[in-house]
Amino acid sequence: MVAIASYPNDPRVRRETEALVKKGYKIDVICRSWGIQPKVEKFDNVTAYRLMNFPPQEKILKYVLFSFLFFILAFIKLQQLSFKNKYDLIQFHNMPDHVVFVGIIQKLMGIPLVLDIHDLTVELTEEKWPGSKFYFFRQFVRLVEKNSCKFTDHIITVTDGCKERLMQRGVPPEKITIILNSTNQEIFKFIPKESNNKILKGAKIIYHGTIAKRFGLHIIIEAMRKVVDQIPESVFVLYGRYDESYRNILELKIKELNLKENVIFKDRVFFEEFPKIFESFDIGVVPYLNNDYMNLALPTKACEYAASGVPMVASYLDTLSKAFNEDCISYVNTEDPEEFATEIIRLCYDPEFRNHKIHQAYAALQKISWAVMGNNYYHLINELISKRDER
């Protein structure tokens, strides 16, 4: 596998490697480091080769430079390892899409290449960098996606919506397999936050993941004013990777609303730590903005809350609502902080309603759990390798 992600910190890359290791595969992961990590590290039958530290970038030029440098280093490392290990298949994780061209020599040798599209780069680029100023960059991204999809032997993507968009752009449907971004229930155990008591004081609300404008955290911060008025001493805690400019906006809003004691920023942590963290919280929130890009997403955090028995308040999004209906999640159809506050307060005041949501979400999760998705993923990889052996 090749990914501009950190291993074992990236949940999807880790889930997939572990699904294959259970079936006897050996895997090398060419990746980046996160903080201070050894350049080479072994995990059972997975060996991580960390090439560089790749900090998150909101600026286009820095992102392009870092990804280009990773591309060169990954190409060199892949040739070294490929000569020694004789790979049966190579999987690439976007972003960026052009990382798949690291395997050009292996492609010529007949080794199947798989591109795992976590995010549709075209839609994400349009969301992050709108306006005429970035027009040529967005056109370049479209061209790169088109040629990357042509070049790879098979594509994995994360939702029906993503598959439909790729098909609209000319990718044959038989070339695409959906592996939903579900959660590993061996890590996230079902410990339901059941209670027959109303939460009348000190409600604890959590969000974890990327903290940028498209994830709508400003809505919850505004909602917290009403929540705190109704349920004193309530807190909203955010764990994650911050877009610093957006964090500054949130801090100004917190000051303006006098919520310094009620909104707490915490740094990103290893995802294995969240099951223990969730035990201390009453409600999880998924307040994504209702736009073209976010409607394509199935938030992994929603699956993690469902797996852990944490009730949720979320924006009503197409992909999320297909996986979890209104029996599972307290949905809000607008970006109105008042409505989010109302749903949070209702979950706190009505224990029967809260318990019902917990169990319905857990039941819905079983249909799309990683036990199901991981098995589908293994069979796909096995089939692609078998076809190559037949040829």
**Is pLDDT of 358 > 80?**
yes
Determine the pLDDT at residue 81: 95
Please state, in angstroms and rounded to a whole number, the distance separating the CA atoms of residues 21 and 89.
Answer: 14
Determine the pLDDT at residue 58: 59
Task: With beta carbons less than 8 A apart as the criterion, state whether 298 and 317 touch.
Answer: no
Nearest one of 358, 376, 385 to 180, comparing CA atoms: 376
For 85-108, the pLDDT digits (tens) are 989 999 999 988 999 999 999 999
- Residue whose tokens read 């902080």: 337
**pLDDT, mean over the chain:** 92
For 252-265, the pLDDT digits (tens) are 999 999 999 999 99
**Is pLDDT of 17 > 80?**
yes
For 214-233, the pLDDT digits (tens) are 999 999 999 999 999 999 99
Q: State which H helix or E strand residue 235 sits in.
A: strand 235-242
For 57-88, the pLDDT digits (tens) are 557 778 788 889 999 999 999 999 998 898 99
Nearest one of 68, 365, 371, 73 to 192, comparing CA atoms: 365
**Token duo for residue 343:** 């749903």
Nearest one of 117, 113, 95 to 104, comparing CA atoms: 113
Task: With beta carbons less than 8 A apart as the criterion, state whether 311 and 294 touch.
Answer: no
Please state, in angstroms and rounded to a whole number, the distance separating the CA atoms of residues 349 and 198.
Answer: 5
* Res. 53 pLDDT band, cuts 50 70 90: confident
Please state, in angstroms and rounded to a whole number, the distance separating the CA atoms of residues 264 and 244.
Answer: 15
List C-alpha distances in Å: 187 to 145, 183, 294: 34, 8, 26
Please state, in angstroms and rounded to a whole number, the distance separating the CA atoms of residues 341 and 344.
Answer: 5
Please state, in angstroms and rounded to a whole number, the distance separating the CA atoms of residues 198 and 195.
Answer: 8
366/62: higher pLDDT: 366
* Res. 55 pLDDT band, cuts 50 70 90: low
DSSP E strands in the chain: the ranges are 2-6, 27-33, 40-43, 46-53, 90-93, 113-117, 154-157, 176-178, 204-211, 235-242, 263-267, 283-286, 312-315, 330-332
Nearest one of 140, 57, 144, 137 to 100, comparing CA atoms: 144
Predicted TM-score (pTM) of this structure: 0.88
**Is pLDDT of 314 > 80?**
yes
Determine the pLDDT at residue 344: 97
Please state, in angstroms and rounded to a whole number, the distance separating the CA atoms of residues 143 and 98.
Answer: 10
Task: With beta carbons less than 8 A apart as the criterion, state whether 148 and 122 touch.
Answer: no
Determine the pLDDT at residue 186: 85
Determine the pLDDT at residue 286: 96
332 has which bridge partners? 315
In order of their start, the domains of the chain are 2-182+369-390 (3.40.50.2000), 204-365 (3.40.50.2000)
Task: With beta carbons less than 8 A apart as the criterion, state whether 207 and 284 touch.
Answer: yes
Determine the pLDDT at residue 191: 85
For 125-184, the pLDDT digits (tens) are 888 777 777 788 888 889 999 999 999 999 999 999 999 999 999 999 999 999 998 888
Determine the pLDDT at residue 389: 74
For 330-350, the pLDDT digits (tens) are 999 888 999 999 999 999 999
